[in-house]
């Protein structure tokens, strides 16, 4: 598989340290507020990458930190009087529940900064011992002049970095661009004991210490949104490699920005959309499919109209899959409706084209996770299969196509949202009784009896009764669809 490596600035073959196991570290939330659609865009991208690697046979060990010590958390707690531990735990738990709804596979570990202070202190102490860091009256700072490759990831000019750092001049530092490993504080909401007095970790050292603890070797993939390239990931590389003397990560993967009407999300602009708000208006499938319309490295603008069209696209995908399943079952003799039996034959052209489209999907995914082109192959495969089953059935190949489609949809994290009819049991029983049917035990049996009633009415050319049954079912939220392979139903 090939991925764009932000360090080398080119698409490269992914070469794991271990042939069978990939260690992936993804920068997680700073949970001072609710998770938003930008967070979800980044985490869905890494979820698709993780799913694809699993599909290719890799074991993926996924580390995703929780930054529960941060200036933004402290500021929010001062403004609201909230307890920092409760604030971060509540927001992160809510975020994980929402990520579960959009079918993001959980990380293997979610290490918290507050639970790894000893590891952070040990790493800072080692950096001081190795002359990569120094203490001042305000904190402990990393000496960027001690790391020859500083700036390689971001491509930043060191003089420009120094110029930018002068906005917050700290005369105690050797160089304005030197960054904090430990900040000395006194009586702050969040502070910890250390060899340098009470204080809290700098932002960047947190990820280095936690990745070192859980990975125990060079990372195969380190990911995050592109705004983390500098200074966060640049500084992670410097302190981690200065600490260990080894390569920190082989492949750096960064996702593009998500904007709203061309602007970065901000509460002050009134364009801040939480993930919870987005899911109150759109299904998880539609939201995931929306994110996949753009390449993960490209910018993406939030578009409610496009999201609405994604709802229709999702419905078409699963309607097509349903027809393919019915055709496959029918071809195997397990589902034969009136008029559903078709000629079974070996269709060489269908085999060739469908195999090519299945292969095309995976080739696009292997090419730096090119989801727009991969999804185009998926749509083409669905259209081809639908065209095939309208004329005749190649039982062996239609089974292969169905299995391939199910695998493709798993990789994309698209899952059929089956709505049960149990909650409609009373309405269905009442309708069945109203139409003169016998009482049955379950909603499913009631619906089956009503569909049979409609079939009998149509056979008797009693189209008025047939239409009444269909209309009454629609009024209680069940749509009947007359397909070539028989009657299908769905919940509106």
Q: Are residues 360 and 454 in the same domain?
A: no
User: What confidence tier does 392 reach under pLDDT thresholds 50, 70, 90?
Assistant: confident
What is the pLDDT at residue 341?
47
What is the pLDDT at residue 484?
58
Q: What is the CATH number of the domain that holds 114?
A: 3.40.50.620
Q: Are residues 40 and 122 in the same domain?
A: yes
Of 362, 385, 412, at which residue does a domain stop? 412
Q: Are residues 80 and 220 in the same domain?
A: yes
Residue 486 predicted with pLDDT over 70: no
Q: Does residue 170 form part of some domain?
A: no
Q: Is 27 in contact with 65 (CB distance < 8 Å)?
A: yes
pLDDT single digits (tens) 429-458: 999 999 998 888 888 889 989 999 999 999
pLDDT single digits (tens) 457-480: 999 999 999 999 999 999 988 888
Range name among 36-50, 440-454, 476-490 with the lowest pLDDT average = 476-490
What is the pLDDT at residue 163?
65
Q: Does residue 251 sit in helix, strand or coil? A: strand
pLDDT single digits (tens) 103-141: 999 999 999 999 999 999 999 999 999 999 999 999 999
Q: Are residues 43 and 80 in the same domain?
A: yes
Q: Are residues 92 and 226 in the same domain?
A: yes
Q: Are residues 430 and 382 in the same domain?
A: no
Q: Are residues 347 and 401 in the same domain?
A: yes
Of 386, 412, 438, at which residue does a domain stop? 412
Please tell me the pTM assigned to this model. 0.86
d(CA 449, CA 95): 43
Q: Shortest CA distance to 388 belongs to which of 348, 437, 329, 432?
A: 348
| DSSP letter string, 162-224 | HHHHGGG--TTSSSTT-EEEEEE-SS-SS-B--TT-SEEE-HHHHHHHHHHHHH-S-EEEEEE
Q: Which residue in this structure is represented by tokens 């083409």?
A: 380
Q: Are residues 40 and 75 in the same domain?
A: yes
Strand partners for 274: 36
User: What confidence tier does 393 reach under pLDDT thresholds 50, 70, 90?
Assistant: confident
Q: How many domains does the chain contain in total?
A: 3
Q: Which residue in this structure is represented by tokens 């992160």?
A: 92
Q: Are residues 388 and 447 in the same domain?
A: no
d(CA 257, CA 228): 11
Exposure on the CB side of residue 384, measured as CA atoms within 13 A:
23
Q: Are residues 60 and 22 in the same domain?
A: yes
What is the pLDDT at residue 334?
44
User: What confidence tier does 194 reach under pLDDT thresholds 50, 70, 90?
Assistant: very high
Domain encompassing residue 67: 2-135+203-255
d(CA 412, CA 282): 17
What is the pLDDT at residue 337?
38
Q: What is the CATH number of the domain that holds 405?
A: 1.20.120
């Amino acid at each position: 598989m090939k991925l764009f490596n932000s360090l080398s600035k080119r698409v490269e073959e992914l070469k794991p340290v271990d042939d069978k196991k990939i260690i992936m570290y993804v920068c997680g939330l700073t949970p001072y507020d609710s998770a938003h659609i930008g967070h979800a865009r980044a985490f869905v991208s890494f979820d698709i990458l993780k799913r694809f690697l699993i599909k290719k046979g890799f074991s993926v060990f996924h580390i995703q930190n929780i930054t529960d010590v941060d200036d933004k958390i402290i500021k929010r707690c001062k403004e609201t009087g909230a307890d920092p531990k409760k604030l971060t735990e509540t927001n992160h738990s809510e975020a994980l529940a929402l990520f579960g709804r959009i079918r993001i596979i959980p990380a293997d570990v979610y290490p918290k900064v507050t639970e790894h202070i000893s590891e952070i202190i040990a790493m800072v102490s080692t950096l001081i011992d190795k002359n990569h860091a120094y203490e001042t009256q305000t904190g402990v700072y990393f000496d960027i002049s001690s790391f020859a490759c500083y700036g390689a990831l971001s491509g930043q000019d060191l003089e420009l970095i120094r110029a930018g750092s002068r906005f917050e001049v700290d005369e105690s530092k050797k160089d304005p661009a030197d960054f904090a490993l430990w900040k000395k504080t006194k009586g702050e909401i969040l502070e910890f004991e250390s060899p340098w007095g009470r204080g809290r970790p700098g932002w960047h050292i947190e990820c280095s210490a936690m990745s070192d603890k859980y990975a125990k070797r060079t990372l195969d993939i380190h990911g995050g949104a592109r705004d983390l390239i500098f200074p966060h990931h640049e500084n992670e590389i410097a302190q981690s490699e200065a600490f260990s003397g080894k390569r920190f990560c082989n492949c750096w993967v960064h996702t593009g920005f998500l904007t709203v009407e061309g602007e970065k999300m901000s509460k002050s602009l009134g364009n801040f959309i939480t993930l919870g708000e987005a899911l109150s208006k759109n299904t998880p499938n539609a939201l995931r499919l929306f994110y996949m319309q753009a390449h993960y490295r490209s910018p993406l603008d939030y578009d409610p109209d496009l999201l609405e069209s994604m709802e229709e696209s999702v419905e078409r995908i699963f309607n097509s899959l349903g027809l393919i399943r019915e055709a496959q079952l029918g071809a195997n003799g397990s589902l034969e409706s009136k008029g559903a039996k078709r000629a079974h034959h070996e269709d060489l052209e269908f085999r060739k084209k469908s195999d090519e489209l299945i292969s095309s999907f995976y080739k696009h995914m292997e090419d730096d996770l090119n989801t727009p082109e991969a999804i185009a192959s998926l749509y083409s495969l669905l259209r081809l299969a639908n065209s095939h089953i309208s004329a005749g059935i190649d039982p062996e190949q239609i089974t292969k196509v169905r299995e391939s489609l199910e695998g493709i949809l798993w990789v994309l994290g698209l899952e059929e949202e089956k709505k049960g009819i149990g909650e409609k049991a009373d309405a269905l029983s009442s309708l069945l009784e109203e139409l003169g049917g016998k009482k049955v035990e379950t909603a499913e049996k009631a619906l089956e009896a009503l569909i049979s009633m409609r079939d009998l009415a149509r056979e008797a050319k009693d189209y008025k009764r047939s239409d009444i049954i269909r209309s009454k079912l629609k009024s209680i939220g069940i749509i009947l669809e007359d397909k070539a392979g028989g009657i299908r139903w769905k919940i509106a």
